[in-house]
Chain A
Amino acid sequence: MGMEPGRWTRTWRVWLAAFVVALAVVGITTQSGNAHAQEDDAPQSITGRVQNRFLEDGERVTEPVPDVRVFVEDEGGTVVGETVTDADGVYVIPLADPGSYVVRIDIETLPEGLAAEDGKDQQVAEVAGNQNVTRAFFLGEDARDVKGKWSLLPQTLANGLKLAMIIAITSIGLSLIFGTTGLSNFAHGEMVTFGAFAAYVVNSDFGLHVVPAALIAIALTGLLGAGFEKGLWGPLRHRSTSLTSMMIVSIGVALAMRYLWLYLFGGDLKAFQQYTLQRDPISIGPIDFPPRTLFIIVISALVIVGVALFLLKARFGKAIRAVSDNPDLASSSGIDTDRVILLVWVLGGALAGLGGVFYGLEFGIKWDMGFTLLLLMFAAITLGGLGNPFGALLGSLVIGIFVELWTWVVPNANDLKTVGALIVLILVLLIRPQGILGSKERIG
């Protein structure tokens, strides 16, 4: 189970498709090269394509680059042939004799902002008699030719921010529930999945636009939270069930719910009807995002600020923090603890629902998405300091960005995406177990 099953399956498919296309293209150009060679009466040639590779909408895309001067030098450095790429980015340079050659692209003729990928603007070609040798050139953003993958860093960080926002929104509830009741709710991830599927059903089966569908889903997930508190956790708390037992109950509930989603919706990746494919990204400096992602980040940020203000300023928000600090003290000072906890479940549920919709928009909807997210949420709130909602925000930021950075540092680590985050979690526990914002007393 990868970190974002949908997106990465899709990405791999895109890569596969790109690979197949590339093979086909090479095959085609080779054939056309043959044709040219015969016409020009030269039995051997070097041929290939100049292409630009870049990230769009989180996926890698290649496109041909025309009008690039390509030339071939022999071992003595003499130019023995040159041409310019056509509209398909294809070049063919016939050679009079077999031998060792160096094929080069003239970087002066590249479109502005582009450079040879990894600085590879020349390649060696051993050309035997009657042979067509293929040498492809890839271009990328200009930064690349000095710094390699550094140019991908801003986009990576931005993707990390996006993931962080979703983790933050979903983990506030987990953190508040922990703070007020002491329960590490292992079924919180399934509430996220519930939100995503609720919106999916309203969106696909009832044909409602995804925005109202999301609002309905948020309400339903809030209700689900209330139902959990009223029907399960509240009664368990009142008969003073130990927290260990409650954690095991929560994991049982999580298991049942997770497989219920699998049973109901099957194991494939689902998508909403709207906003799934957005082909025109908005560029902010080096970062490209589809409009959808920008909205998600902005709305998330607003929601987070709203929740923070609520906790800091509103009467009920203060009550939540009071209960988190010391439930006995709070209840004896006239705060209705049960009502506060009910509110926390509704709020946490609603936020989980919203997070589920956002996650579904970005990465697709799948039965086990909540479990994958749960580990990241736990990593985030532990990192920030268990039970501290502001710590949860900070922890989410670190975890979200770290997950993306990890794949940037370690190439092809997509199927090990969450591993980096979990390793960070363990390191933090070793060094500062109370988390970034946690107080020492909490670790007991």
Chain B
Amino acid sequence: MSVDAPASNGTPGMAKNDPILVAEGIRRQFGGLMAVDVEHLEVERNRITALIGPNGAGKTTFFNLLTGFDKPDQGVSRFDGHLMSDSSAHKVAKLGMVRTFQLTKALARLTVIENMRLGAPNQRGEKLWAGPFRFLWRDEERHITERADALLERFKLSHMRDEFAGGLSGGQRKLLEMARALMTDPTLIMLDEPMAGVNPALKQSLLSHVKELKNEGRTVLFVEHDMDMVHEISDWVVVMAGGRIIAEGTASEISGNRDVIDAYLGAHHDLDLGAMSESEVEAELKELEVESGELPSAGDSASGDSASGDSASGDPAGGTA
């Protein structure tokens, strides 16, 4: 845990010294369900902020709203002084706020290096008129490839450089997605469950990559279930439940917060998930579901959050493109 976290124990929605992202009155309803109802949230620059909460807390939906993948019914957000509320996803990304996805979106039939090159912003070769004429973008492409190779080296993916991304393991895909996001040179990088489905051996290297992002001067906001990771790398923790921000603070402050424990227990969750192995958690969850008769999420208890955030992918409509 970091020592330079803000001094006071956080009340939900508290002000930060140098906020890079400010969300105000963001609301999103699905049918009758209020999926996200965030009064006020500030994310401090050059910090690693964790967004945690029980299944169905609205974390992924909130991510979608911030990054332009979904439109809030109400409310505005500001990123680095830019008003974002009506920005579409690609504009958000161009401004330097880049996200990854809970279910990795490695572009399966592009090679790893092509995945990486795609991440580079403002390419001249991506203009239709320049496309057919290689001499217009050859130098640029070489430059991009150098950067991509360096990042692949850093993320230990160089040996997979020319493989189709579809052939990567789950953990490698997570790495690739993070590396690809870095190709855009983001100011704020938003990771949606970077640890989900990653084997323990890769977890450590992923953790160090995330810490490195901060050292490079970037801001990180991530959604995570793995409390070990939250404890280890986050400077600040924001807790969501039922679509609201219920607490903020350092990881240790949050662990002792009564509201947070209630929120988790209310959702039949054990707060200290990190102490259990994944299969134990799964077994526990199943037990609880049987007891309470409640519906579990979309099957993958590790990824969670499906009641609200995943409604798009649960929908048959989601998988068409």
Binding site for B on A (CB under 8 A): 179-182, 242-244, 326-329, 332-333, 386-387, 439, 441-444
Contact = CB atoms under 8 A, between A and B. Distances in A.
Interface string B295-321: 110110000001000011011111111
27 contacts: A182-B315, A182-B316, A182-B317, A182-B320, A242-B320, A243-B316, A243-B319, A244-B320, A244-B321, A326-B314, A326-B315, A327-B314, A328-B306, A329-B295, A329-B314, A332-B296, A332-B298, A333-B295, A386-B317, A441-B30, A441-B311, A441-B315, A441-B317, A444-B315, A444-B318, A444-B320, A444-B321
A274 B311 CA distance: 51
A387 B299 contact: no
Nearest to A180: B316
A240 to B, nearest CB: 9
A294 to B, nearest CB: 39
Given A181-B316, A327-B314, A444-B312, A332 B31 contact: no
Nearest to B318: A444
A387 B295 CA distance: 23
Nearest to B320: A243
A442 B315 contact: yes
A327 B30 CA distance: 17
Report whether over half of chain A's contact residues are helix, strand or loop; otherwise say mixed. Answer: helix
Contacts of B295: 329, 332-333
Interface residues of B, number: 17
A69 to B, nearest CB: 69
B3 to A, nearest CB: 43
Nearest to A387: B317
Contacts of B317: 182, 386-387, 441-444
Contacts of A326: 311, 314-315
Nearest to A443: B317
Contacts of B312: 441, 444
Nearest to A244: B320
Given A386-B317, A444-B312, 12 more contacts: A182-B315, A243-B319, A244-B320, A244-B321, A326-B314, A328-B306, A329-B295, A329-B314, A439-B31, A441-B312, A441-B317, A444-B320
Contacts of A244: 320-321
A442 B306 CA distance: 16
A242 B320 CA distance: 7
Contacts of B316: 179-182, 243, 327, 387
Contacts of A439: 31
A439 B315 CA distance: 12
A166 B316 CA distance: 27
A439 B314 CA distance: 15
Contacts of A443: 317
A337 to B, nearest CB: 11
Given A439-B31, A441-B30, A328 B320 contact: no
B319 A242 contact: yes
Contacts of A182: 315-317, 319-320
A244 B320 CA distance: 6
A34 B244 CA distance: 96
B296 to A, nearest CB: 6
Nearest to A327: B316
A155 B319 CA distance: 44
A116 B318 CA distance: 60
B311 A328 contact: no
A180 B316 CA distance: 8
Q: Which of B314, B316, B321 has the most CB of A within 10 A?
A: B316
Contacts of B319: 182, 242-243
Contacts of B306: 328
A442 B315 CA distance: 8
A329 B316 CA distance: 12
A333 B320 CA distance: 25
Among B311, B312, B317: residue with most chain A CB under 10 A: B317
A243 B320 CA distance: 5
Interface string B23-51: 00000001100000000000000000000
5 nearest A-B pairs in the assembled complex, by CB-CB distance: A182-B316, A328-B298, A243-B320, A326-B314, A328-B314
A438 to B, nearest CB: 10
A175 to B, nearest CB: 13
Interface in B124-156: none
Nearest to A442: B317
Interface in B273-304: 295-296, 298-299
A333 B30 CA distance: 20
Contacts of A332: 295-296, 298-299
B25 to A, nearest CB: 20
A326 B30 CA distance: 13
A387 B317 CA distance: 9
B293 to A, nearest CB: 9
A74 B164 CA distance: 94
A280 B166 CA distance: 68
Contacts of B296: 332
Contacts of A327: 314, 316
A15 B316 CA distance: 50
Given A442-B315, A444-B320, A328 B299 contact: yes
B308 to A, nearest CB: 11
A48 B256 CA distance: 103
A332 B316 CA distance: 15
B30, B311, B319, B320 interface centre (most CB from chain A within 10 Å): B320
B307 to A, nearest CB: 8
A413 to B, nearest CB: 35
A243 B319 CA distance: 7
A434 to B, nearest CB: 11
A325 to B, nearest CB: 8
Which of A182, A242, A386, A387: most chain B CB closer than 10 A? A182
B246 to A, nearest CB: 25
Contacts of A442: 315, 317
A327 B298 CA distance: 9
Contacts of A444: 312, 315, 317-318, 320-321
A327 B319 CA distance: 13
A179 B296 CA distance: 22
A105 B103 CA distance: 81
Nearest to B293: A333
A442 B318 CA distance: 8
